[in-house]
Amino acid sequence: MLPKPIDILPQQPPFLFLDEYLELDERHCLGKYVFKENEWFFKGHFPGYPIVPGVILIEAMAQAGVSVGLFSLAHKENIPIEKSKEKGLSVFVRIGEVNFLDMVKPAETIFVSSTLIFNRFGKFETGGEIYKLVNNEKRMVCTHKSIVGQRIKV
């Protein structure tokens, strides 16, 4: 059984953008999030035509990447995944080549995929995408070639 994002990620509501994991291992994460109609940012992000800000989508991709990193760390150190966030805080050090291809509106569900490129010396890099299902077909929302995070002691 997969853990819940709220139990392993340092981010918490209202800044947690993964509701559940569909897949999670040392190399890959596929998560899901439903944007509620009353999300705090919709009020001011294009009143009358609310859409999810791109920075929130980047954050969702980063949270999926951190999930892979935490899973990998827990596996490597033979500790429960819920304890891995106690080893340090993962923060952005670089974001590379993000492409936005579609918008996400209130009440839409996104699927966030992240694949590990490397994880060493306290740094990890992932590549990933967000998509939604429209008429049961995958529609790409955004992609990134690189989000690099670094684990820091707090």
Active site residue 45: yes
Give CA–CA dist 102/6, Å, rounded: 27
User: Is residue 60 helix, strand or coil?
Assistant: helix
Q: In what order do the strands lie in the sheet with 28-34?
A: 20-24, 28-34, 109-120, 123-134, 137-152, 89-100
Catalytic residue among 28, 45, 75, 144: 45
Token pair in block for residue 22: 């569909």
What residues are annotated to the active site? 45
